[in-house]
Every structure is written in C-alpha cells, then in structure tokens.
Amino acid sequence: MNAAKRLEIFRRFHEDNPEPKTELAYSSPFELLIAVILSAQSTDVGVNKATARLYPVANTPAAIYALGVEGLSEYIKTIGLFNSKAKNVIETCRLLVERHGGEVPQTREELEALPGVGRKTANVVLNTAFRQLTMAVDTHIFRVSNRTGIAPGKNVVEVEMKLMKFVPKQYLLDSHHWLILHGRYVCLARKPRCGSCRIEDLCEYKQKTSDD
C-alpha cells in the first residue's frame, strides 16, 4: 500500500470521527489502567459494568489495595479470568503506592514492570491517558492492518512498528482508536462488512464481501 492511500484512509477516519475515544469508562489514568488490565480477553462492555460497581467504592491504588484479592473479586467476578486479574490488580496497586506515590507512571518500562501490564496495555495507557505517540496493537488492529494492507506483519510487534512508521504523522495520535473501532464494527473477523466500509475502495483485501 502506498503513502497516498494511507493518507486518504486516515483522512476519512478523521472526517467521520474527529475525536475518537476508548470505549472503556474511566475518569483518571489509574481507572483507565485498571480497566485495561481487566479487559484482557473480555469485552469493554463487561469491564464497564464491573468498574461501574467498583469505582464508586474504590478508585485509587490505596483504596483498591485495601479491598484485598477476595474483596476485589466480588466486584469483578463477572469478568473472565477474574481470579488472576484480581491478584494482578492488587499487586499493581501495592507497587503504585510503594514505588510511585500512588500515581500511574508515564513510561513504558515502569508500566510493564506492573503485574498484568504487557506492552499493549502500557501503550493504551500512554496513548489514551497521557497522549503519547504509541500504538497498542490488539486483535482488531492486527487483523485490520494485515487485511487492508495498511501495515502487514507476522506478529503484533511487527505491525506496531510498521504502523508507527507508516501512519501519517498528523493522524498517529488517534489512529489506534480508529483502527480498533473499524475492526470491532466494520472489518469483522469472520466476515468483513465491505459493503458498509468507508475505505473499501482503498483497501487491498482480495476477498471483498457484500453485506447480505
């Protein structure tokens, strides 16, 4: 795919949705961090239901740490893998209090040192909470990048590096939101909705579908 096509793809994404946002509900960097940890292999809708119960009771590292694993599990037991997630969140809260004064760190290295925080989670927090130029490649972005030809790669890190290189700079900050939303609602895994796709004429996917 050439640079002119990529520029037009992101120009259209921006035109349709000038200020894209994550679908996770949060009101602070810490709330976002916990929501992203909980969202692994879970839906944003499911996470939002759990945090809607949790955050009014505890929404700081100290407050959630005080709940303990069992206390926290009661709030998040509707989410997949809640037992291991509860342990990770409690340990993360302990480290945030002890090492970071209760604040969410703003570097990838410090974030990835927290339990339950991998490269993708760190990138989401850095981009969404702190507006840093990072690219969080999830299954949707990996699929869209490969299927369309925007940034094909064999693994998520390769796709991340290509997107950081190829996405036009003026669109880079918000691009991961556009790509996630496109993968979630249009470029679906089983059958992409090519007939409803804003970038169908620019996409290099060979097996275009109708929406029938």
Binding residues for [4Fe-4S] cluster: 187, 194, 197, 203
Tokens representing 111?
Answer: 């974030």
Cα distance between residue 157 and residue 120, in whole Å:
9
Question: Per the residue annotation, which of 5, 21, 77, 138 is the catalytic one?
Answer: 138
Is 138 a known active-site residue?
Answer: yes
Closest CA to 203 of 3, 9, 4: 9
Rounded to the nearest 10 degrees, the angle between the axes of helix 156-166 and helix 172-185 is 130
* Rounded CA separation 22/60 (Å): 20
Q: For residue 197, how many C-alpha atoms fall within 13 Å in the half-sphere facing its CB?
A: 26
Q: Give SS3 for 138.
A: coil
Name the one residue in this structure whose structure tokens are 């679906």: 188
174 is a catalytic site residue: no
* φ, ψ at 75 (rounded to 5°): -85, -25
Q: Which stretches within 40-167 are classed as H helix?
A: 44-54, 61-76, 82-100, 108-112, 119-128, 139-148, 156-166
CA distance 67 to 170: 43
Catalytic residue, from 120, 154, 208, 212: name it: 120
What amino acid positions are annotated as catalytic residues?
Answer: 120, 138
